[in-house]
Amino acid sequence: MAESEWSPSSWASKPIKQDVVYDDAAGVQAALAKLQKLPPLVTTQEVDDLKKSLKNVALGKAFVLQGGDCAELFDYCNMDMIEAKVKLLLQMSLVLIWGANKPVVRIARIAGQFAKPRSSPMETIDGVEMPSFRGDNINGFDATPESRKPDPSRLVSAYFHSAATLNYMRASLSSGLADLHSPLDWGLGHVITPSIREKYTRIVNRVKDALRFMQTVGIDTDRGVETVDIYTSHEGLLLEYEQSLLRHLKNPDSPSTTHSYYATSSHFLWIGDRTRQLNGAHVEFFRGIANPIGIKIGPSMTPAELTSLLDIVNPAREIGKVTLISRYGAAKISQYLPAHIAAVQASGHIPVWQCDPMHGNTQATPSGVKTRHFSDILSELKQALEIHRAAGSFLGGMHLELTGEAVTECVGGAGGLTEEGLSERYTTFCDPRLNEKQALELAFLVAGFYRELDEELAEDESI
């Protein structure tokens, strides 16, 4: 059956989940009108460069590392926190390049990851019913009915906080923050576990040896080792906001007459597990944009739904246009992932497969504190790698909620954080994140798995 004609506002005629109801209709229109006049946050060339990189990931030629806060706050828009996240992604990607022996595409959950879906629009705090906190671009975290009232002016604030974050990120990278000539300048911060620090230093020394060789033979002549690309991403939850930042622009690599609709709020947007209905507003909006997109898939997704969804959002079957972000939980992944892989393989689509080992492994302590166990996160990742390998598929990346801060939100890891220690620095406003030490340790463990895999394949080929 042919799809109906798409337009930037055609999503508004579809059923919508996780929508926001504002009391101030005039304020909403004023905010959206302001956003429509502002310049794009990202360029079409950047978006298309990411699409090319993700095509390589889908074909097994590269690996994608995506990570950042569960929910950004406007207060996270400061020098120290931006640098901490960027440095952590750079450290992790260096380790993964060494382990997987492939280029790493870096995508941060940053400069726009403000809105969050919630299981209930209302909650009761100290006997008072009020709207749930939906993210800084919707309402305030303070537990008062007035703070929790959706405020349309926050949509414009979200744009400017995203712009400031992007500006500093780009300036830092172009000024040498990612220079591979001096990776040890990326201070390991709170990573004090000797085994992790030693492994990292060993990898860094190998990279420095390679760079010295390049300089000696005269091929170190450009800025290719002095900076990298870090792309931005967020869940495309607030469709009014996303529509207001749509721009009908020329495709950089197409004839001059070819234009497409680009979502210029970010390089990469994804649809959440709660908003991926085949006839829903979010799927309708996403099927019309030129950006690479992600789709979260969990246990409730049937194989038939998955292939139908791919047909809707990617009818041209662009390789790597869609990233499937699997999130089952360590106890369920073996039950669901094989059938999903088989269905996609039979459909002829070639997406990027990415593992999100965070969302399916959230649990609460006896006292009600949300946490995740490092062992469960690692288990889901390892199972995903093994299942894809057995199916002749390629797990192209991992999607993590992490921070460069020394938070205490996830239990376990080499630091041995216990449930009793969660209260030391539990600062998330939504879901628990890996701290710097845990995230870097995870990168080493995944890199080690790829190293072992390469050695096994080499042995098989020599037989």
Q: Is 109 annotated as a binding residue?
A: yes
Q: What is the spatial distance between Cα 276 and Cα 312, in angstroms, rounded to a whole number?
A: 11
Q: What is the spatial distance between Cα 365 and Cα 379, in angstroms, rounded to a whole number?
A: 20
| Tokens encoding 236 | 């495309």
CA dihedral 289, 295, 301, 306 (to 10 degrees): 50
Q: What is the spatial distance between Cα 413 and Cα 309, in angstroms, rounded to a whole number?
A: 37
Q: Is 399 annotated as a binding residue?
A: no
Q: Is 401 annotated as a binding residue?
A: yes
Scanning the structure block, which residue is given the tokens 């060993």?
202
Q: Is 296 annotated as a binding residue?
A: yes
Tell me the one-letter amino acid at 171: A
Distance, CA of 350 to chain centre: 19
Beta-carbon neighbour count of residue 438 at 10 Å?
A: 28
- Local structure of residue 358 (DSSP, 8 states): S
Of 1, 48, 455, 456, nearest to 251 by C-alpha is 48
> What are the backbone dihedrals phi and psi of residue 65, each rounded to the nearest 5 degrees, phi first?
-110, 120
Q: What is the spatial distance between Cα 271 and Cα 274, in angstroms, rounded to a whole number?
A: 8
Q: Is 197 annotated as a binding residue?
A: no
Map residue 397 onto helix, strand or coil: strand
Tell me the one-letter amino acid at 389: R
Contact assessment for residue 307 and residue 343, using Cβ atoms and an 8 Å cutoff = yes
Q: What is the spatial distance between Cα 40 and Cα 36, in angstroms, rounded to a whole number?
A: 9
Distance, CA of 299 to chain centre: 20
Contact assessment for residue 296 and residue 325, using Cβ atoms and an 8 Å cutoff = yes
Task: Specify binding-site residues for phosphoenolpyruvate.
Answer: 109, 296, 327
Task: Specify binding-site residues.
Answer: 70, 109, 296, 327, 359, 401, 431
Task: Specify binding-site residues for Mn(2+).
Answer: 70, 359, 401, 431
